[in-house]
Structure 1
Amino acid sequence: MKIATFNVNGVNGRLPVLLRWLAAAQPDVVCLQELKAPQEKFPEQAILEAGYGAIWHGEKSWNGVALLARGQKPEETRRGLPGDGDDTHSRYIEAAIDGILVGCLYLPNGNPAPGPKFDYKLRWFERLIAHAAGLVAADHPVVLAGDFNVMPTERDVYKPERWTEDALFRPEVRAAFHWLIDQGWTDSLRRLHPDETIYTFWDYFRNAYARNAGLRIDHLLLSPAIADRLIGAGVDRDVRGWEKASDHAPTWIALED
């Protein structure tokens, strides 16, 4: 079973890239972030014609998350992260697919830091940690996947000394990620590639992709109940080089059936 996460940076504007990748990679489950489309503008028909059922949580101009499943429609279990009824951002959606609970998330960027946006990021992270604790306690097979907007270690960022004050790399954010991992979650890519330089995002500026000046901010975390099924993990790096591509590349894992 192949599960992927892909920040598409605009699902309608990048639809040809998404469809091309789906046809080539044929993932079984896909978590999409940054749809940048209201609920009624999600390209459901094109996704269906590509062979995928979909659920999505849209938002005009910004944010937005979706779950796709090959040959079926995901069974939605949650829309929105619990803990703050006033938070209207479309950043979390969860569904059951073939016996696995998949949570798709788009964690806030948080810049500029310090400031209100950074405070919101930390509060959202705290809510994610609380929800994730419940998922682990339930002892179900769970995958938490998406754009976490955090580089966990210096190995996950090109020239880390330049990022020390950025909201994606500040100590508070990295600590929150490690608190999450300490619940028992497995960082899939690092489990199988502990020492490799792996990036999932390259800025559009300063020729970052060609220089491989990237960040690893897209993650797939596995609960203890499913971690031993991990048999593969990687990044479809070449997709970032396609015409009109997202600044992220699809990141994926393979699980033993």
Structure 2
Amino acid sequence: MRLVTWNVNSLNARMPRVFELLDQHDPDVVCLQETKTAAEAFPHLEFGMAGYHAVEHSAGRWNGVALLVREDLEVDRVVRGLDGEPDVQEARWVEARVGGVQVVSTYVVNGRTPDHPMFAAKLAFLDAARDRTRQLVAAGPTVIAGDLNVARDDRDVWDPAVFRGSTHVTPEERAHFEAILAVGLVDAYREVEPDGTGFTWWDYRMGAFHRGMGMRLDYALVSHHLGIRNVVVDRNFRKNNRAGDKPSDHAPLLVDLDRAPDR
């Protein structure tokens, strides 16, 4: 299975790039975040013409997550929303079984600042994600993919001193992230690239992308039922393209998976 996760930062603004991604990488499933579209406006027809079935959980102009699944793969066990999350109306979690693997696309609460009420909401969301993930891993092959809005450790930020005291890097967030892994998942990128940088997000300001001022916020967390063959951050999708449209501030993360040989 080839899986891609990408915070697209508005489908409406980025549709040509999504089709480019499908054409270049031929993924089996794509996990999208920040689709920023209403359910009734979601481009099911357009994706269908490209050979993909879409499962979406939408909230209008903010947030929104989706799965794009190649049309020849079986899709069932669709779940929208997450038991215990602070606000299900924010559309931050969608899951479906794709070819026998339960795949989740999630967009974790940003948290703003550690003293903001949304920080507590972020930790509550991560708690709910942990509890649901435990159920999924106990049931079979699972992938949790998306913008988790946590830099797992200091390797995952361009300058740890700059972020000290900020959201994304606090001990509380990192502990909650590790608690999700502890139910039976591995961080696919770190499994393949233990010493790699792997940034997936760069601020639009200050020439951050070209100066290497990034963070690793996007992940594929994979259960023990699956083997990881390859992981790549496609930085080209963070660059300006020939069409001249503005890129997302995130790059796609590509993961090639197999069933583990003893499963």
Q: In the aligned structure 2, how far is the partner of 1:172 from the partner of 1:85?
A: 17
Report the Cα offset of residue 254 of structure 1. 0.4
Who is 2:235 aligned against?
A: 237
- Which residue is 2:133 aligned to? 132
Taking the aligned partners of 1:84 and 1:148, their CA distance within structure 2 comes to 14
How many residue pairs match? The answer is 254
> Within 2, Cα distance between the matches of 1:230 and 1:158?
26
Looking at structure 2, the residues matched to 41 and 111 of structure 1 have their Cα atoms a distance apart, in angstroms, of 29
Tell me how far 1:71 sits from its aligned partner: 2.0
| TM-score, normalised with respect to structure 2 | 0.93
Instruction: Identify the residue that residue 196 of structure 2 maps to in structure 1.
Output: 196
CA displacement at 1:141 relative to structure 2: 0.5
Residue 177 (structure 1) aligns with: 177
**Superposition deviation, residue 244 in structure 1:** 1.6
> Where do 5+ consecutive residues of structure 1 fail to align?
none
Return the letter of the residue paired with 1:69: V
SS in 2 for 1:13: helix
Measured in 2, the distance between the counterparts of 1:43 and 1:84 equals 27
Is the Cα contact below 8 Å between 1:55 and 1:74 reproduced in 2? Answer: no
CA distance in 1, matches of 2:6, 2:224: 23
SS at match of 2:23: helix
Query: What is the identity, as a one-letter code, of the residue corresponding to 1:249?
Result: A
> CA 1:27 to 1:196, structure 2 compared with 1: closer, same or farther past 3 Å?
same
Residue identity (%): 39
Q: Per-residue deviation at 1:81? A: 0.5
Compute the displacement of 1:86 (Å). Answer: 5.3
Q: 2: CA distance between counterparts of 1:232 and 1:208? A: 27
Letter paired with 1:44: H
Tell me if structure 1 keeps the 8 A contact 2:203–2:214: yes
Cα gap change, 1:166 to 1:85, in 2 (>3 Å): closer
Secondary structure of the corresponding residue to residue 56 of structure 1: strand
Residue 23 of structure 1 is matched in structure 2 by 23
Which amino acid in the other structure matches residue 181 of structure 1?
L
Seen in structure 2, the aligned counterparts of structure 1 residues 155 and 85 have a Cα distance that, compared at 3 Å, is: closer
Residues 86/207 of structure 1: CA separation in 2 closer, same or farther (3 Å cut): closer
TM-superposition CA deviations, 1:185-216 (whole Å, max 9, x none): 11000000000111011111110111111110
For residues 110 and 24 of structure 1, the distance between their equivalents in structure 2, rounded to whole angstroms, comes to 34
Shift of 1:76: 4.2
Secondary structure at 2:11 match in 1: coil
Residues 1:98 and 2:107 aligned together: no
Shift of residue 136, structure 1, vs aligned partner: 2.2
Alignment TM-score, normalising by the size of structure 1: 0.95
Q: For the residues of structure 2 that align with 1:178 and 1:54, how far apart are their CA atoms? A: 30
Per the alignment, residue 4 of structure 1 pairs with 4
Q: CA RMSD in A?
A: 1.4
- State how far apart, in whole Å, the 1-side matches of 2:18 and 2:52 are: 12
8 Å Cα contact 2:86/2:121 also seen in 1: no
Q: What are the ranges of 5 or more consecutive residues in structure 2 without an aligned counterpart?
A: none
Q: Could you tell me how far apart the structure 2 residues matched to 1:252 and 1:201 are?
A: 15
Which whole-Å CA distance do the structure 2 matches of 1:156 and 1:3 have between them?
21
**Does residue 32 of structure 1 match 2:62?**
no
| Equivalent position amino acid for 1:39 in 2 | A
Cα deviation for residue 113 of structure 1 reads: 2.1
